[in-house]
């Protein structure tokens, strides 16, 4: 078996080591005897979504987001078909914001891709620090680090989790992130996946199911250290 992971615009969207999520995907596949292939897609490259089993869209500054969005608008209909067809996506921070209708910054409004019915408003006070989430999708807490000026309003969408510690989407809603079909959007850096192997395996399992039309049982890995670190942050 094999999964092809598309890393979209790492030349623009790679704040706080988001590239580490790619390494986590690779290692947790390889340790189980599943071949990982990473397709690095830089700004201006064409994107063949039919080749991709899983996509990472990382975070960037406002300027980099604006540049990335200009390129992504060229493929937004293909991206939307991919998401609506069950394509697996992890969108972090700026990538999460870009999937919405718009992001209003301090000086301008960036039109988003409109894949999710959400929007983001900039505020001068940054929301930053460690985060702990209680998520209905996972038995263990989700932990990470946030640092964002945007407040993302997700409307009727389902949140990734309830904020136990930290700020989350708006600092007031008590919610963090979003789950839509096989897409997870979140503000959590860290990188997210090495700190939360349960989230990594969730995404890998969804991608394998979609590609091979069957449930692939992912054998347990030696995650004792990760679980201890998770527990330490969560308590």
Catalytic pick from 24, 93, 119, 200? 93
CB 208 within 8 A of CB 216: yes
| Other beta carbons less than 10 A from residue 178's beta carbon | 23
Statement: residue 25 has pLDDT above 90: yes
Clarify whether 93 is annotated catalytic.
Answer: yes
Q: How far apart are CA 170 and CA 26, in angstroms?
A: 32
Per-residue pLDDT tens over the stretch 98-155 = 999 999 988 888 899 999 999 999 999 999 999 999 999 999 999 999 999 999 999 9
Q: How many domains does the chain have?
A: 1
| Residue 210 binned pLDDT confidence (cut-offs 50, 70, 90) | very high
Which helix (H) or strand (E) covers residue 97, if one does? helix 94-98
Per-residue pLDDT tens over the stretch 148-178 = 999 999 999 999 999 999 999 999 999 999 9
Percent of the chain with pLDDT over 90: 83
* Helix, strand or coil, per DSSP, at residue 148: strand
CB 232 within 8 A of CB 218: no
Statement: residue 14 has pLDDT above 90: no
pLDDT at residue 63, as a whole number: 82
CB 133 within 8 A of CB 161: yes
Catalytic pick from 24, 148, 189, 200? 189
Which tokens go with 34?
């599943």
Q: Which domain holds residue 228?
A: 2-234
- CATH code for the domain in which residue 108 is found: 3.40.50.880
pLDDT at residue 235, as a whole number: 87
CB 145 within 8 A of CB 190: yes
| Residue 190 binned pLDDT confidence (cut-offs 50, 70, 90) | confident
Q: How far apart are CA 18 and CA 94, in angstroms?
A: 11
């Amino acid at each position: 078996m094999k999964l092809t992971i598309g890393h979209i615009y790492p030349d623009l969207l790679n704040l706080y080591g988001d590239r580490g999520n790619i390494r986590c995907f690779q290692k947790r596949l390889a340790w189980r005897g599943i071949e990982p292939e990473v397709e690095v897609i830089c700004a201006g490259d064409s994107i063949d979504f039919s080749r991709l089993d899983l996509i990472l869209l990382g975070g960037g500054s406002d300027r980099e987001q604006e540049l990335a969005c200009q390129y992504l608008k060229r493929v937004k209909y293909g991206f939307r078909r991919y998401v609506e067809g069950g394509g697996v996506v992890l969108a972090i921070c700026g990538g999460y914001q870009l999937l919405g209708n718009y992001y209003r910054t301090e000086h301008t409004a960036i039109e988003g891709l409109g894949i999710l019915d959400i929007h983001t408003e900039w505020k001068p006070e940054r929301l930053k620090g460690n985060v702990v989430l209680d998520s209905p999708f996972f038995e263990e807490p989700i932990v990470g680090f946030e640092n964002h000026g945007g407040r993302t309003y997700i409307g009727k969408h389902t949140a990734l989790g309830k904020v136990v510690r930290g700020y989350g989407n708006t600092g007031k809603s008590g919610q963090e992130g979003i789950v839509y079909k096989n897409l997870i959007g979140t503000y959590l850096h860290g990188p997210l996946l090495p700190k939360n192997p349960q989230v990594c395996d969730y995404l890998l399992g969804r991608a394998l199911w979609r590609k091979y039309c069957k449930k692939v049982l992912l054998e347990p890995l030696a995650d004792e250290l990760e679980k201890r670190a998770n527990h330490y942050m969560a308590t």
